[in-house]
Structure formats: C-alpha cells, structure tokens
C-alpha cells in the first residue's frame, strides 16, 4: 500500500516537472517573437491561431500562462491606465485557447463591466465576454447568473436580467434551494424592475457564493450601502411630510425628531451622518455621498483620459464628456449625490467637484 502510494507520488511529481519544462519554451517563444514580452499590449499581436500553432497541442497550458500574465499586468496598473479594448482582447485570446476557462469569463467580464474604481466601466465588453462564456459552457449556471447581475445593475435591463436568472435556475446541478431563489429573483425583476430588496438579495448571493475574498468584501460593502440608502429614503419621506406641514425644509434631520415625525435618527451601517441636501430636497448620508463622489470622479477622469487617447485632446467641456460617455457606455452620466456640480478643466482633463452654494 505504501509502495503504491510512493510510486503514485513519484509519477505526479514527474508530470508536474514535465509541465514546467514544457511551459518554458512557450514563454520563451512568445517573448522572442515580441522582444522579451515588454508589455501585454505587444503580446496581442500574436493571434489565437498563431498561439495555437506554437502550443504543440497544449492550448490549456498556454491559456494558463496568459492568465497569469493578465493578472500580473492588470493587478499592477490602476484602472485609469487600463484600456477596456486591451483587457477584452486579452481575455478573448485566453478563452480562444481554453473555451472552458470559466473563471476567465467571470472575472474578465465582471471587471470590464463594473464602474471605476472597481472595474473599467465598459458594460458592453463585459457582456460580450459573458455571452462567449455561455456559448462555450452551456451547462454552467454561474455565467448566466452573473451576467444577469451585470444587466440588472448597469444597463438596468430588468427583463433581460430576469431571463438570465431563469436560465441559470434551469441549469443541471443547481440545488432546489438555489433554483427557487433564482426563480424568485427572475419573478421579482420581471414584476418590479429595480428595487432595493432585490438588489440586496443579489448582493447577498454574491457574498455567499463568490470564491474571491475581494468580491465578497465588495458585496458586503454594497449590502451595507443598500441598508443605508433605505434609511435615506425613509428619512426623505419624513422630510417631505415636514415640508407639507410646515411649508419649508427643516434645518436639520433632528427637527424631524423634535416635531415627532420620526422617533429617532437611525445609525447608518456605513458610518458618517445624515444631513439635508436642500437643492435636491433629500436627506443623505455623508459617508455614502463621499463614496459615490469618489467613484464618480474616478469614472469621469478615466473617461476624460480615454477621450484624449481617442481624439488627441481632452474634452472641451462637461457636455463633450457627457456625449462621449453616453456613446461609449450604457450607464447614466453621474449626478453629484448632494446636489453639487462636477466641473472639467479642459487643459488638464481633470474633473473635480464644486459644491453649489446654498442660501
């Protein structure tokens, strides 16, 4: 028994060493063809068919090499410096080499679709990668499920999201509990469209099922933000009741307690405090507003930089940037969460925030 186990270990070790030896010529050949692989961009001049020809039949191993280099490159540069076209093309090559590489579709598609600073904000490219993954992996439930998340949160196409949730629920190997949950999500998306309860449920599923700690932390962050937004909505309803009664906006949220409209100001899960944003007649959380502003500025500055890459100059004004974003993405142009204003320096391409003065 022990001899057999030892022999098996020797065989496995020999296979591992052989794979390592085989991988070295692939990397050398790629590097030699593009001058030591000075950048990921240069490697893309090698087409999928060329790579298949030099792989000697080890397409999946070569896909793994590209996968590791993709992680290294995209993990070492900020989203503002990254090009969605480049990222898509890179993962397109990886999945041409290994069409069953499910995680390449999942991580690549999600990173492409999610807005900065967590992704590159190119929803269409992200969806295209997910579509390719579903075509080559028709029995995998995670791909339609996660593509449904993309449709739900970014283009806000709730009908398409519902169709994808239902498709995921019908894949083989899905547990009865998860099947019922996904069918419920599909029904809710069809009936109600976007709503806080369904959004929270989706992020809870992402938190419970994601293999990535970073992704789980991102999901938890979104759950806390959704709970805080629900508090904002309830407080804003109370503000409107106050205005209807007293014909003015309250000076602070505490006025709602003093007049008995609400019992107390709730404690926001994200921290910060609730304040009145008079220009939009709402009550907002300061921490949530700060996070949203940071995300908006990261998104706008990334788009401004890409505008220059495409046209050779920065946008002349915010309207030029708005039109460019509407043409390039499926998302909405961001509005300042407290009623402030985003402004653009056409010389530097830098977008900053200027709060509007209030009386």
What pLDDT shows up at residue 1? 47
Question: Which candidate, 355, 312, 356, 329, places its Cα nearest to that of 154?
Answer: 329
Please give the pLDDT value at position 169: 92
What's the CA angle centered on 217, arms 119 and 286, to 5 degrees? 80
DSSP summary character for residue 261: S
In this prediction, residue 22 carries a pLDDT of 45
Look up the CATH architecture of domain 34-192: Alpha Horseshoe (1.25)
pLDDT of residue 139: 95
The angle at the Cα of 156, spanning 155 to 161, to the nearest 5 degrees, equals 100
Beta bridge partners of 106: none
Per-residue pLDDT of the chain (359 residues; tens, 9 = 90+): 445 555 545 554 454 444 444 444 544 444 443 343 344 445 544 555 555 554 445 556 555 666 666 666 666 556 556 677 878 888 888 888 888 989 889 988 998 888 776 778 888 999 999 999 999 999 999 999 999 999 988 888 888 999 999 999 999 988 888 888 888 888 878 776 767 788 888 888 878 877 778 778 888 988 999 899 999 999 999 999 999 999 999 999 999 999 999 999 999 999 999 999 999 999 999 999 999 898 889 889 988 988 998 899 999 999 999 998 888 765 668 889 998 899 999 999 999 987 544 33
Output the six-digit token pair for 310. 């495409």
* DSSP-assigned states of every residue in 133-178: HHHH-TT-SHHHHHHHHHHHHTT--HHHHHHHHHHHHTSTT--HHH
Q: What is the pLDDT of residue 65?
A: 63
Q: Among the residues of the chain, which ranges form H helices?
A: 2-33, 40-43, 48-54, 59-75, 84-97, 102-113, 123-136, 142-153, 158-169, 176-192, 196-209, 213-246, 254-258, 286-311, 318-328
Spell 123-150 as b/e; 16+ CB within 10 A means b: bebbbbbbebbbebbeebbbbbbbbbbb
pLDDT value, residue 170? 93
**Under 8 Å between Cβ of 101 and 95:** yes
Q: Name the residue ranges covered by the structural domains of the chain.
A: 34-192, 224-288, 294-354
Which pair of structure tokens corresponds to residue 69?
């280099």
Give the global pTM: 0.59
200/225 Cα distance (integer angstroms): 9
Place of tokens 């050949």: 29
Residue 48 is given by DSSP the state H
Q: How far apart are CA 323 and CA 303, in angstroms?
A: 11
Name residue, tokens 């409209």: 261
């Amino acid at each position: 028994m022990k001899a057999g186990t030892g022999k098996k270990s020797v065989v496995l070790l020999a296979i591992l060493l052989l794979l390592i030896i085989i991988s070295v010529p692939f990397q050398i050949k790629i590097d030699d063809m593009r001058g030591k692989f000075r950048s990921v961009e240069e490697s893309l001049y090698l087409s999928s068919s060329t790579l298949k020809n030099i792989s000697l039949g080890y397409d999946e191993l070569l896909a793994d090499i590209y996968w590791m280099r993709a992680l290294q490159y995209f993990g070492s540069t900020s989203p503002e410096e990254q090009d969605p076209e480049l990222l898509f093309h890179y993962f397109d090559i990886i999945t041409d080499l290994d069409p069953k590489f499910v995680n390449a579709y999942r991580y690549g598609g999600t990173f492409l679709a999610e807005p900065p600073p967590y992704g590159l904000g190119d929803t269409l490219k992200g969806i295209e990668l997910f579509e390719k993954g579903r075509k080559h992996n028709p029995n995998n439930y995670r791909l339609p499920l996660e593509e449904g998340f993309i449709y739900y949160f970014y283009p806000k196409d709730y009908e398409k999201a519902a169709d994808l949730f239902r498709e995921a629920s019908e894949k083989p190997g899905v547990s009865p509990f998860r099947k019922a949950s996904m069918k419920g999500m599909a029904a809710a998306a069809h009936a109600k469209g976007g709503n806080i309860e369904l959004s929270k449920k989706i992020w809870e599923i992402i938190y419970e099922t994601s293999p990535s700690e970073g992704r789980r932390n991102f999901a938890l962050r979104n759950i806390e933000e959704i709970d805080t937004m629900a508090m904002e909505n309830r407080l804003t309803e109370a503000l409107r009741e106050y205005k209807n009664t007293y014909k003015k906006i309250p000076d602070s949220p505490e006025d709602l307690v003093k007049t008995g409209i609400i019992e107390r100001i709730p404690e926001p899960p994200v921290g910060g405090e609730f304040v009145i944003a008079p220009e939009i007649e709402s009550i907002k959380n300061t921490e949530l507003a700060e996070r949203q502003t940071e995300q908006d500025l990261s998104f706008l500055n990334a788009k401004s930089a890409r505008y220059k890459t495409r046209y050779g100059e920065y946008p002349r004004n915010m309207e030029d940037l708005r039109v460019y974003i509407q043409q390039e993405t499926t998302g909405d142009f961001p509005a300042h969460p407290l009623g402030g204003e985003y402004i653009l320096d056409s010389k530097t391409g830098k977008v900053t925030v200027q709060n509007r003065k209030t009386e």
